[in-house]
Amino acid sequence: IAEVKGGPSEGVDRLGERLVVRGWVRTCRVQSSVTFIEVNDGSCLSNMQCVLNSDVEGYDQVEAGCIASGASVMIEGILVNSQGTKQKVELKVEKLVLVGKSDPVAFPIQKKRASREFLRTIAHLRPRTNTFGAVTRVRNSLAYATHKFFQENGFVWIASPIITASDCEGAGEQFCVTTLIPSSGEDTNSPVGSIPSTKDGAIDWSQDFFGKPAFLTVSGQLNAETYATALSDVYTFGPTFRAENSNTSRHLAEFWMIEPELAFADLNDDMACATAYLQYVVKYVLENCKEDMDFFNTWIEKGIVDRLSDVVEKDFVQLTYTDAVELLLKAKKRFEFPVKWGSDLQSEHERYITEDVFAGRPVIIRDYPKDIKAFYMRQNNDGKTVAAMDLLVPRVGELIGGSQREERLEYLEGRLDELKLDKESFWWYLDLRRFGSVPHAGFGLGFERLVQFATGIENIRDVIPFPRSPGSAEF
């Protein structure tokens, strides 16, 4: 349908052509002399209106009531000018084939708009709605634009591992991976099997598959650094996992992250890359997903198209963490959490900065206190802060977190000691500083938060096909 109706002429240039539409029935209206079937095939938001008379081959399926919402059909006909005002063209049907029937009463997606909460319980059918169709196509375009941006700028894509023994962020939010000893079937207490354990009940890691604890990755950064210090600029784009027990509209247990790593680069290069990347992908969807973006502009977030156009055209705000704290201390607004130099910014603080102070512009905050940031970030000369940056956007909050990496062996070892991290286990990471170390920097962007930002969808569970969050891993 997009192929025909997606062009600037909305299909008028293809009048008279014989076409076959394969898709799912949205509605079927039987009137005295004609029947209208609205078909959607997911290629675009628009349906194809198919008009048929009772003498058409396959009309008996209409009479039998089988051409109902949810059914799949194959319809052949001629593209003609539409009499209606909603569309320029329609299909004059010559042949109708019912491919898969659907009971319209039992079909969970009804014409009146269902709540997002309800649709989450039918994640297998929600792609059939306008909203999820549009989100899915925009998500796809953002992924395509991501690869296009990095590939055009000479970055090499790296597949970082999903299973790893190291905890990049050191926040202890990892999911553990283990193998199961199949249960005999009689043990109803552990029907799926058990984990190798010692006599006193502790997990016996030496008997486990990897011979030591292994986890689902929280970030591919450390692995990306190994390739950046060999191939120069690289990026990862893959799933990451966090056992954060936070039931918020911005957190998932499984989310996709884009992590570029730039060699021979400092924090300024990193911020410039983040800005160029974000402007590129936003511009891409504004230009290539017009119909879907207009839908979001009308139904999800009024004014989103203008707001995103501003993101593409205007510079981002940059300020230091210390200046941000000053701003917050001077604010007239009352915050739930106190503002204090040295504490992490809470989402209410981030919202105040992006929404109230800078009126919806993306804001980059840099040079955070070292004690609230990860071990690998490069220490600034003041001895108190690190070369870190967070990019904040309205509504979503933190979209990007990045830093210049500590490339000096003695500083890095010192930091690992200070934090009482096991230096031995970072032997390979330290090697990168022993053999041809270079200044390098990178960032991580939460892909679902980008989709939220680009579509205006409020809850992160509605921008990923199958959300994983505490207590929810069905489908």
Q: What does the binding site for ligand 4AD look like in residue numbers (CB under 6 A)? A: 168-169, 219, 221, 242, 244, 251-252, 255, 257, 259, 398-403, 442-446, 448-449
Q: Are the beta carbons of 266 and 442 closer than 8 angstroms?
A: no
Instruction: Please state the closest distance from residue 471 (CB atom) to Mg ion, in A.
Output: 24
**How far is residue 31's CA from residue 40's CA, in Å, rounded to a whole number?**
21
User: Which residue lies nearer to Mg ion by CB, 401 or 456?
Assistant: 401
Range in contact with Mg ion (rule: CB under 5 A) among 151-159, 283-291, 353-361, 396-404: 396-404
Which of ligand 4AD, Mg ion, none has residue 10 at its interface (CB below 5 to 8 Å by kind)?
none
Instruction: Please state the closest distance from residue 213 (CB atom) to ligand 4AD, in A.
Output: 20
Instruction: Please state the closest distance from residue 409 (CB atom) to Mg ion, in A.
Output: 25
Which of ligand 4AD, Mg ion, none has residue 400 at its interface (CB below 5 to 8 Å by kind)?
ligand 4AD
User: Which residue lies nearer to ligand 4AD by CB, 1 or 386?
Assistant: 386
Strand partners, 235: 157, 260
Instruction: Please state the closest distance from residue 460 (CB atom) to ligand 4AD, in A.
Output: 6
**How far is residue 213's CA from residue 203's CA, in Å, rounded to a whole number?**
10
User: Which residue lies nearer to Mg ion by CB, 11 or 401?
Assistant: 401
Token readout for 246 is 């936070």
User: Which residue lies nearer to ligand 4AD by CB, 44 or 252?
Assistant: 252
Which of ligand 4AD, Mg ion, none has residue 448 at its interface (CB below 5 to 8 Å by kind)?
ligand 4AD
The separation between the first and the last C-alpha atoms of the chain, rounded to the nearest angstrom, is 29
Which of ligand 4AD, Mg ion, none has residue 257 at its interface (CB below 5 to 8 Å by kind)?
ligand 4AD
**How far is residue 154's CA from residue 261's CA, in Å, rounded to a whole number?**
12
The residues near 115 (Cβ < 8 Å, ≥ 6 apart) are: none
User: Which residue lies nearer to ligand 4AD by CB, 259 or 407?
Assistant: 259
Please provide the DSSP assignment of 140-157 as one string.
HHHHHHHHHHHHHTT-EE
Q: Are the beta carbons of 404 and 379 closer than 8 angstroms?
A: no
Using rule CB under 5 A, residue 402 touches Mg ion: no
Which of Mg ion, ligand 4AD, none has residue 251 at its interface (CB below 5 to 8 Å by kind)?
ligand 4AD
Residue 233: Cβ within 10 Å count? 21
User: Which residue lies nearer to ligand 4AD by CB, 44 or 142?
Assistant: 142
Instruction: Please state the closest distance from residue 196 (CB atom) to ligand 4AD, in A.
Output: 30
What x/- string results for residues 98 through 137 when contact with Mg ion is judged by CB under 5 A?
A: ----------------------------------------
Instruction: Please state the closest distance from residue 228 (CB atom) to ligand 4AD, in A.
Output: 11
**How far is residue 374's CA from residue 234's CA, in Å, rounded to a whole number?**
21
Strand partners, 401: 390, 444
Instruction: Please state the closest distance from residue 444 (CB atom) to Mg ion, in A.
Output: 8
Strand partners, 239: 256
**How far is residue 52's CA from residue 37's CA, in Å, rounded to a whole number?**
8
Which of Mg ion, ligand 4AD, none has residue 259 at its interface (CB below 5 to 8 Å by kind)?
ligand 4AD
Which ranges in 289-338 belong to alpha helices (H)? 290-299, 304-313, 321-330
Using rule CB under 5 A, residue 401 touches Mg ion: yes
User: Which residue lies nearer to ligand 4AD by CB, 82 or 279?
Assistant: 279
**How far is residue 192's CA from residue 195's CA, in Å, rounded to a whole number?**
10
Which of Mg ion, ligand 4AD, none has residue 219 at its interface (CB below 5 to 8 Å by kind)?
ligand 4AD
Strands 176-177, 234-241: pairing kind: unpaired
Q: Are the beta carbons of 378 and 406 closer than 8 angstroms?
A: yes
User: Which residue lies nearer to ligand 4AD by CB, 73 or 391?
Assistant: 391
Instruction: Please state the closest distance from residue 412 (CB atom) to ligand 4AD, in A.
Output: 15
In the bound state, the residue with its beta carbon closest to Mg ion is 401
User: Which residue lies nearer to Mg ion by CB, 297 or 347?
Assistant: 347
Cα-Cα-Cα-Cα torsion 269, 273, 276, 278, nearest 10 degrees, comes to -140
**How far is residue 224's CA from residue 204's CA, in Å, rounded to a whole number?**
31
Strand partners, 176: 215
- 3-state SS, residue 366: strand
Residue 420, classified by CB atoms within 10 Å of its CB into exposed (0-12), middle (13-18) or buried (19+), is exposed
User: Which residue lies nearer to ligand 4AD by CB, 110 or 248?
Assistant: 248
Please report, as ranges, the residues that interact with Mg ion according to CB under 5 A: 401
